[in-house]
Structure formats: C-alpha cells, structure tokens
C-alpha cells in the first residue's frame, strides 16, 4: 500500500527569535540596545512546534493473521510511533505490533521501511521496533521529557495517524495524572496520564508532548463511551522499560499464577461467614506454579452490595513469614519476589492450615494481555478501548 506524506515539499519554518526589550538600571544605557535573548522551544508557536516534532512521528502498519477466519485471514492494523534514537529505534504500543507480521513504518517524508520488533511488554503496552538508518543523513529524533513534572491543567498536544490520516495534530490539557484503568489488578497497576486531547484508533503509539515539544507520554487508550477521555503511558515509565526490552525483548516479572483479593473486614461483614485473614485466591492460572502445587481457586461467584467475590478458594495467610492481611504487607512481599526463588506460604483450606512451597517462575504472556489489545477494526484499528466498570477493591494478580 502506498503512502503520500502531507509534508512533501513543505517549507521548514525556522525557530522564531523573540526579542524582549527591557532596561536594567545601571547596566543598559539609554542609547544602547539590549541583547535579544535566544528563544527556547517553549516559546514556539504550535505550528512551529508541530513542524519540528512531527518529523520524528511515524506511521506504523502491520498484518494480523487470524486462522479462525476462513473468509479473511489477513487483516491490517495501523498505529503510530515516535523515533527516539538515530539508530532507528522507535517507541510504539505493544498492541500495535506484538504478535503481528510484516511490520512497516512510513516516515514523515513518505519513505516506507520494513521494521523489526526489538521487544514488547503487553502489560504496560509499550514496544520498541527498529528501522534501518538512512545511508545518508540522520533520522529526526524526538526529545524525551520528564513525566514526573507533569501537572493537571498543563497544555499538551498529540501527533498521530488516526484512521490512517497521516500526521494529525490534536490539542488539549492534562486532565489527571496517576490515573489507573478500571479492572486493573493492584499489583499490575500502571499510573497513566489522562488527557482530553483527542486520541482515535490509529493514534495509538504516538507521542503526547508538552509545549516545549518534549514527549511526556505515549498514547495508549480511550474510554469509548466518554467525551475525549484518553490515556498515555508516562514517558518515565517508558524510559525504565526500554533497557529491558533492548536487553531481553521483554519485561521479566515474577509469577505464581493467582488472582484474587484480600479478605478485608468489609468482606467479612458482607458475607457474614467466618473467613481467615489473608489473600483469597479466586483464580489459578492453568500451568502456573500455583496450580502445580495444588492451590485451589474459587467456585461460587457472589455479588453482595456491589462487591463481587469468587468464594471457595484457598486463603494465603502468610508468605515468607509475613502475614499478608493488608495491601501494604502483600505489596511488600510481592516486591521481594525473584524468579527462581522459593516462596514458603501458609494456606487456609477446609478450616485447616497447610504449609506449601512454591517456586517462582517468569510471568508468561497471558491470553488476556494480547486479546485486550487486539484491533477492533482492520487497517484503521489498533486503538485500545477500556470499559469503566466497577471492580472489587484490592484485587491482585501475581
């Protein structure tokens, strides 16, 4: 498929120099013109900022194979990305390229290049792909900012390729920071930047930039039934993930293979049955270390007062000598887990306490990691949508 860049033949606008006339008593004479300070990128107009930053924004396309669809086994998805290194390294979303085939990148000038997957993390929805560097000249590179300094109300812009419309600029503000998507287990929470700048399918993987032209996030998700509620992965989180993806192609996470929630006092009060304090196992992943050691999940699904719980599973009361009866204690234990280590735990089952030892393995890519981010429409798809549904508090997956 051919592409036509909207920037072909476009005149490049030089950086605007702003001259501030001022007089400093005792330093500047009346007949002497004060020096004109150089403009910073933060003083650029939005058109100038777009002309500069959009050079590093690319269109990403890939083929997806669906063997179960006899009529149309090959579909195409489109997304965006941003060049972060002159060697050809590009940041995009995992759901745009992970598990895809024939990934290609179209540069701002219309050049189409094949891309290879460097690494992907479906959990945080971050991926790195690489294109060959040009034989002559250098690739334009975006400047990465500091998302820890982002504040609510700050003006931001996005550049992407929504619905295959190349190099589209949208404008808005930071609506919230440290936003957690609904139904995300506490142990896998990702604090996102919320913005009202329009994000549409095909914009996924493009940069969220501040008024200095620095990338402060990578756009990743929208609430489909809302009015301009979109989310971006903070760039500082991307910076942490990038070395791991380059080194091993993935983010290594310790894994036992259980999901559930803490037995909190409100749960006891709602159910009015005796429950041991600890972590109530609701789901055990097939083939996981927990399943191999016979840890049991829940069997009876109940909803009481809007609080859902799957009863009948084991209750883990102690892990490595720590009573896991509060979110803080459970998080403390989870942070200490290492792949290959043995976890000693006390499990409450059938009104008896049992001692188990479980060897921690690396968390694999789970079906939910990929299915949740599959394209909802060919070619123009790749936009991840999430549903704002209430979920039980203190749910964990590890």
Using alpha carbons only, give the angle 216, 151, 14 rounded to the nearest 5 degrees: 50
The single residue listed with the structure tokens 């996030």 is 217
The single residue listed with the structure tokens 């429950």 is 275
Helices (H) then strands (E): counts for the chain: 7, 26
Is the CB of residue 262 less than 8 Å from the CB of residue 317?
no
Q: Identify the active-site residue in 75, 175, 204, 375.
A: 204
Give yes or no: 31 in active site.
no
Q: Which of 288, 256, 142 is nearest to 208 (CA)?
A: 142
Using alpha carbons only, give the angle 63, 66, 68 rounded to the nearest 5 degrees: 170
Helices (H), 272-375: 289-292, 327-336, 367-371
Q: Identify the active-site residue in 121, 125, 314, 369.
A: 125
Which tokens in the block code for residue 258?
Answer: 């259980």
Q: Is 335 left (phi over 0), alpha (psi -120 to 50) or beta?
A: alpha
Is the CB of residue 359 less than 8 Å from the CB of residue 48?
no
Is the CB of residue 170 less than 8 Å from the CB of residue 158?
yes
Which tokens in the block code for residue 208?
Answer: 């969220």
Is the CB of residue 126 less than 8 Å from the CB of residue 238?
yes
Which tokens in the block code for residue 8?
Answer: 């072909």
Give yes or no: 301 in active site.
no
Q: Find the length of the chain.
A: 398
How far apart are the C-alpha atoms of 166 and 224, rounded to whole Å?
22
Give yes or no: 95 in active site.
yes
The single residue listed with the structure tokens 């745009």 is 96
How far apart are the C-alpha atoms of 135 and 133, rounded to whole Å?
7
**Enzyme catalytic residues:** 95, 125, 204
């Amino acid at each position: 498929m051919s592409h036509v860049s909207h920037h072909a033949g476009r005149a490049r606008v030089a950086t605007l120099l702003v001259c501030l006339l001022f007089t400093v008593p005792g330093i500047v004479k009346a007949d002497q013109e004060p020096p004109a300070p150089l403009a910073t990128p933060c003083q650029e107009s939005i058109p100038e900022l777009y002309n500069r930053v959009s050079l590093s924004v690319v269109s990403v396309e890939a083929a997806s194979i669906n063997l179960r669809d006899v009529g149309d086994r090959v579909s195409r998805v489109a997304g965006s990305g941003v060049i972060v290194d002159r060697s050809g390294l590009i940041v995009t979303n995992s759901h745009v390229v992970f598990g895809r085939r024939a990934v290609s990148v179209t540069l701002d000038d219309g050049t189409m290049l094949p891309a290879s997957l460097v690494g992907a993390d479906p959990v945080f929805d971050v991926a790195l792909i690489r294109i060959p560097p040009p034989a002559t000249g250098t690739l334009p590179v975006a400047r990465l900012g500091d998302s820890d300094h982002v504040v609510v109300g700050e003006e931001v812009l996005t550049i992407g390729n929504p619905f295959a419309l190349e190099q589209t600029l949208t404008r808005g503000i930071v609506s919230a920071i440290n936003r957690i998507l609904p139904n995300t287990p506490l142990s896998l929470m990702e604090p996102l930047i919320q913005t009202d700048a329009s994000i549409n399918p095909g914009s996924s993987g493009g940069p969220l930039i501040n008024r200095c032209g620095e990338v402060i996030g990578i756009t990743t998700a929208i609430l489909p039934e809302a009015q301009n509620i979109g989310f971006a992965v903070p760039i500082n989180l991307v910076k942490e993930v990038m070395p791991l993806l380059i080194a091993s192609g993935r983010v290594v996470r310790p894994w036992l293979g259980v999901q559930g929630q803490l037995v909190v006092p409100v749960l006891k009060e709602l159910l009015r049955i005796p429950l041991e304090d600890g972590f109530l196992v609701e789901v055990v992943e097939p083939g996981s270390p927990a399943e191999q050691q016979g840890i049991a999940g829940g069997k009876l699904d109940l909803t009481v007062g809007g609080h859902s719980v799957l009863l009948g599973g084991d209750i883990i009361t102690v892990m490595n000598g720590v009573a896991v009866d509060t979110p803080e204690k459970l998080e403390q234990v989870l942070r200490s887990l290492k792949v290959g280590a043995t976890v000693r735990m006390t499990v409450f089952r059938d009104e008896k306490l049992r001692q188990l030892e479980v060897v921690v393995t690396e968390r694999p890519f789970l079906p939910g990691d990929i299915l949740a981010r599959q394209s909802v429409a060919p070619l123009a798809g790749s936009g991840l949508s999430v549903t704002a549904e209430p979920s039980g508090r203190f749910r964990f997956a590890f």
